[in-house]
Amino acid sequence: MRFALSILLASVAAAQPAFEVTSVKPSEPGQPGMGTRNDPGMLILNNATLRFAIRFAFSIQDFQFAGAPKWVDADHFEIEGKCAEGVTFPQKLVMLQTLLADRFQLKFHRETREVPGYVLVPAKSGLKLSKTKTPDGPSGASWGGTRVAGTNQTTAGLASMLSTHLERPVIDEAGYKDRFDFRLDWTSTPEEPAPSLFSIIQEQLGLRLEARRVPVEMFVIDHAEKPAAN
């Protein structure tokens, strides 16, 4: 039975889409920032840590990591994958997952854990959400400076935005089913600091972020190795 299972796992791994050519080498020291480039027939990660590459490849957030050795955040790499020009971006992400397994010997499992986070619930004053004016249009959001805006959004989508900004999981329990448009504005001066995001959401949307321990699917690293340079 174990022999048959090993064959099955090997065949699944072999079927995983992969880049035609890959390159992984240490980055030059002192480079600022990390980035990605999605060109036709190529995917490039510049000055990327393994944590950055995993987040990008598997679409997860920092608070979902567990079991990572220190070098996962300390060492930086130039990672390139070449493929046919017709390969889509989602397909390239799957190929990047294969590259990480092959070149970094990445092995992981997923498990659900309870971690500190927030739950999005109605405020005592009641919801202040306006139904969208474009129900048949795409949903969108922008976040910058002293303004946050969304069109044709859901409370689940808002919770996801807040999760990214707060770097904590946010679970939607608002119980609001309609799509809505929103815009949050605030100002600050030296005499009057900007109100907290928690206050703004409650005052302008009638929603509240309640601190709780919440279940989150974690990405647990079981094994990873520094790759040999090309």
Domain limit, last residue, from 37, 71, 104:
104
Quote the CA–CA distance of 184 and 146 in Å, as a whole number: 8
Do residues 97 and 119 both lie within one domain?
no
Q: Write the single-letter amino acid at 216.
A: V
pLDDT in tens, 35-73: 999 999 999 999 999 999 999 999 999 999 999 899 999
Q: Is residue 192 part of a domain?
A: yes
Give the model's pLDDT for residue 211: 95
Are 110 and 220 contacting, i.e. CB atoms less than 8 angstroms apart? Answer: yes
Q: Are strands 207-223 and 107-122 parallel, antiparallel or unpaired?
A: antiparallel
Q: At what angle do helices 155-166 and 197-205 cross, to 10 degrees?
A: 170
Is the pTM above the cut of 0.85? no
pLDDT in tens, 157-212: 999 988 988 899 999 999 999 999 998 877 666 666 667 888 889 999 999 999 99
Q: Is 117 helix (H, G, I), strand (E, B) or coil?
A: strand
Are 116 and 137 contacting, i.e. CB atoms less than 8 angstroms apart? Answer: no
Q: Is residue 201 part of a domain?
A: yes
Q: Which range marks the domain in which residue 76 is found?
A: 2-104
Mean pLDDT score across all residues of the chain = 88
Confidence band for 138, pLDDT divided at 50, 70 and 90 = confident
Q: Is 62 helix (H, G, I), strand (E, B) or coil?
A: helix
With a cut of 80, say whether residue 230 has pLDDT above it.
no
Joined together, the tokens standing for residue 106 give: 């990445």
Cα 38 to the center of its chain, rounded Å:
17
Quote the CA–CA distance of 79 and 49 in Å, as a whole number: 10
Domain limit, last residue, from 54, 86, 104:
104
